[in-house]
Amino acid sequence: MQKGDIQILTERYSLVMERIHEIKKERVGGEPLTAYFAMVADFVMLLEETDLLLEAGGLETSSLEDLKSRNAALYQDILPEHYDTSYANPDYAIEMLGEEFGAMLSFLYCEMRSLIPFIYERRLEEVVIRLELFVEVYAAFAYAWQESEQADAQEAAGEVRSEAGLPPTEDIRQILYWYVSDYTETASEEHLREMLVPEDNFAVNIIKSADLSDVRYLYSYGEYIGENELEMARFMASLPQERVNVMADTYTEGYRIGFEVTNKDLSKKKTVEIRYRLGFERMMRRAVENFEKMGLKVTCYRAASSILYNPSIFKSGYYGGEPNRQYDFDHKDDRAIFFDKIYMQHKLEVTRTAFERYKTEAAGYAGPAVLETFGERDFEPKNKAGALKMSEEQNALWVEYRTLMGELQRNYILEEERSFTIIAFPVPEIREAFGEEILRRLGMKDAMECYHAFFEEIIRINTLDYKLYRDIQQCMIDVLDTAEYCEIKGMNGNRTDLRVNLWKLANPEKETIFENCVADVNIPVGEVFTSPVLTGTEGILHVSRVYLNGLEYKNLELKFEDGRIKEYDCTNFATEEENRQFVRENVLFRHKTLPMGEFAIGTNTTAYVAARKYGVQDKFPILIAEKTGPHFAVGDTCYSHAEEVRVYNPDGKEIVAKENEVARLRDKAPDKAYFNCHTDITIPYDELGELAAVQKDGERVVIIREGRFVLPGTEELNRAFAR
């Protein structure tokens, strides 16, 4: 930024802060609105005080207790114990401020809360535009109130007010709409810069330079820091360097192998993007060093909190603790205020412009390396009456937007040239799942000792002998390649009854249907997977309890007809409408239907047994859970947008089942061929009655019966159960 630009921004900041200080002394729109604007002004002044502290080097000089206290003050308003009376809660905002303005002013307060990280990153422009938005909204109320005081009965010609002294509701919506529209170009460019340009990256600088033995470094980010993050950082600091190296090396080597097994040239790439949870910086430091030895510079962006950066209940980027997941859930549809066709087209155009600016960097982008965490407290979302909801028209438009945005990105970041990797580790919060019975049975003195043991178990699972799994899985593939279809039936209350139609090989000597997946992009081992033929794939998929992307589903049931979801339901909520809406929004991602994009058989019995041993089977992320039984992905296939890339199994056979009837439309109608989502749903072994490959002559070759592998050559997988 040029010196003149900084000076102008500094002047704008001074002026807007001066006005916000005055708001504290003024009365506007009656007592409830006066209290609301005063509260938001107080919050802004806390940020101003924090800004001065940071400028004075307070991160280095403050004690841990002082940093804790400030972090708590910034986030206390949305913590569960305070959320019922927070304006960030749309129901409370509507109760206090009325139906007309409550939800929009709740959104406005959330956007002010997104200032916290920008203050810590010293991004003055991001701060100024949000403060100016707050003052502009306040000014609309102040003007209407002033008019009312001057002439009680006066109203502007042709203008209808819901109540004397209040602005038209549409005026406030328009202010919010144009804020998002005006600054979406700046946000689009900034997001791409963070993802593609490694120079002066905020998070990477912390990883490289912070004293990771002193947990005060966590407060450098501006993220919420709870006991979970503090304990994670302390735990990582206590590990021998050798264990940290194993964790990081498995992660980065999986990334490298992902390029190798798919015949992609890593040497053409310049940058890799990392995603992680705060507390894992010691592992990330080693990973950054490893990537740099591969010739890759590292980028990292923050998980979004501002509406300009498209926040989501599914965190992507780096992030700290989640102070209140209900808060995120309540505001997942805030875009309903502004999302229309005009905005969508504008967003696509400014993103295209941003990609043009960074097209060289985009060509050098190798893809993300993701560290997931699991073990957080259970979360059962509640549907708030006051939460904003997108209309059916907006839902359809959102699906179209995601499709077009995906196509746009793939024009600059070629799918056939990029890769990724994902690995997962448990956070200390998982200790709450270790009950007294578990501790007694395992001979552990306390939950922390149990956590240490479980963490070591996960390291072991992430580094299992891939050659052993490769050979066992090949035995399964040899049978599956000769099958017409597979039958999958549940037991122990599981109502699954599925027939999955399989690809028919033209040249069995050189071709294969299933990929033999060991440990590269998806860590840990192991599974075999394919893209099923949709026609003839039908039946019911049922799971009694499953966590998908951090959300719990009770009795999730999908009914397939010709490989597409025809009906769906769960039992999370009191009404069928709420249950269907929950599934449609978070499993179907607002599509009316989705195809079965993947059928797989997970073989990691070691992970399955570890989950039961420690009583944490409901805590495993999809990444590990999908390896602990057969699973079915709804949405795109595993080869989405890379169908033409030739892929081979370790035995030299080419994998040919990389598309289905929907993906086959990609050349003629790409908007109908892809859905930009892929969600795996696993049937655990203890709910699996039988999985059989059915040959052309009707012979059934059983692979799993009553949760145990019975196919010759797979017996080794049952050893974990015996242990």
Share of the chain above pLDDT 70, in %: 97
Distance in angstroms (rounded) separating the CA atoms of residues 249 and 169? 56
What's the mean pLDDT in 227-256?
A: 97
Position 4 scores a pLDDT of 63
Confidence tier at 400 by pLDDT (50, 70, 90): very high
Share of the chain above pLDDT 90, in %: 86
Question: Could you give the residue ranges of the DSSP H alpha helices within 561-665?
Answer: 576-586, 605-614, 622-625
DSSP 172-228: HHHHHHHHHHHHHHHHHHHHHHHHH--TT-HHHHHHHHS-TTSGGGGGGS-S---HH
Which helix (H) or strand (E) segment holds residue 105: the answer is helix 102-113
What's the mean pLDDT in 640-648?
A: 87
Given a cut of 80, is residue 152 above it in pLDDT? Answer: no
Position 647 scores a pLDDT of 87
Confidence tier at 150 by pLDDT (50, 70, 90): low
Position 31 scores a pLDDT of 92
What's the mean pLDDT in 26-34?
A: 91
Given a cut of 90, is residue 547 above it in pLDDT? Answer: no
Position 156 scores a pLDDT of 45
Given a cut of 80, is residue 153 above it in pLDDT? Answer: no
226-230, 392-396, 669-673: range with lowest mean pLDDT? 669-673
Which of 248, 232, 224 minimizes the C-alpha distance to 430? 232
Confidence tier at 162 by pLDDT (50, 70, 90): very low
DSSP 39-61: HHHHHHHHHHHHHHHHHTTHHHH
Given a cut of 60, is residue 159 above it in pLDDT? Answer: no
260-264, 293-297, 580-584: range with lowest mean pLDDT? 260-264
Given a cut of 60, is residue 722 above it in pLDDT? Answer: yes
3-state secondary structure of 348: helix
> Residues 211, 60: contact at Cβ < 8 Å?
no
Confidence tier at 149 by pLDDT (50, 70, 90): low
Could you tell me the pTM of the whole model? 0.90
3-state secondary structure of 646: coil
Confidence tier at 548 by pLDDT (50, 70, 90): confident
Q: pLDDT higher for 151 or 192?
A: 192
In sequence order, the 6+-apart residues with CB closer than 8 A to the CB of 89 are: 83, 106, 327, 330, 384, 386
Interval 682-699: pLDDT, tens: 999 999 999 999 999 999
Confidence tier at 669 by pLDDT (50, 70, 90): confident
Q: Are strands 688-695 and 318-319 parallel, antiparallel or unpaired?
A: unpaired
Confidence tier at 484 by pLDDT (50, 70, 90): very high
For all residues of the chain together, what is the average pLDDT?
A: 94
Given a cut of 80, is residue 136 above it in pLDDT? Answer: yes
What single DSSP character describes residue 595? B
Given a cut of 60, is residue 142 above it in pLDDT? Answer: yes
Position 715 scores a pLDDT of 93
| Per-residue three-class SS string for 653-687 | CEECCCCCCCHHHHCCCHHHHCCCCEEEEECCHHH
Given a cut of 60, is residue 151 above it in pLDDT? Answer: no
Position 164 scores a pLDDT of 60
What's the mean pLDDT in 398-426?
A: 94
